[in-house]
Amino acid sequence: MKSRILAVVFCPLLIIPFSAYGFTYQIDPDHSSFQFKVRHLTVSNVKGDFSRAKGVVILDDQNITNLKVELTIDASSVHTGHAKRDEHLRGADFFDVAKFPHITFVSKRVTKTDGNRLRVVGDLTIRGATKEVSVDVEGPTPEIKDPWGGF
């Protein structure tokens, strides 16, 4: 589950154009998606998202492996499309949002794998427990010259 959540954590990296290098990018919660998919009882997948998050991506125009990511997700904003399940996820059995209101990720190192793929290693903290995780991501994407797609 954690690696699938982390895959979503890095979705904002996919939309950062090359021209943004050398900047601190504030993750825009109105234009970012923090989705997840987890296996349930080995027979189905449960999909959902977190609607509230904030963070920064710090880009180095000289070396993409100097990329830094800090993300804080409001755990109470979990949404799976099923109200009863969402309440259960917010409760003590899962996220326990009363005691642990945030999920955080802080990158520690980035390596280039192949093409425009990166491996981001960092600390993921859920319910006060921190574990090092590794996630393969795509990005950044080339600069978009025409945001309207020629229309």
CATH number at residue 20: 2.40.128.110
Whether residue 52 is contained in a domain is answered as: yes
Whether residue 112 is contained in a domain is answered as: yes
The domain containing residue 77 runs over which residues?
2-138
Whether residue 23 is contained in a domain is answered as: yes
Residue pair 119/136 in contact by the 8 Å Cβ criterion: yes
Q: Is the pLDDT of residue 109 over 90?
A: yes
Whether residue 60 is contained in a domain is answered as: yes
pLDDT for 134 equals 92
The structural domain count of the chain equals: 1
| pTM flag (> 0.85) | no
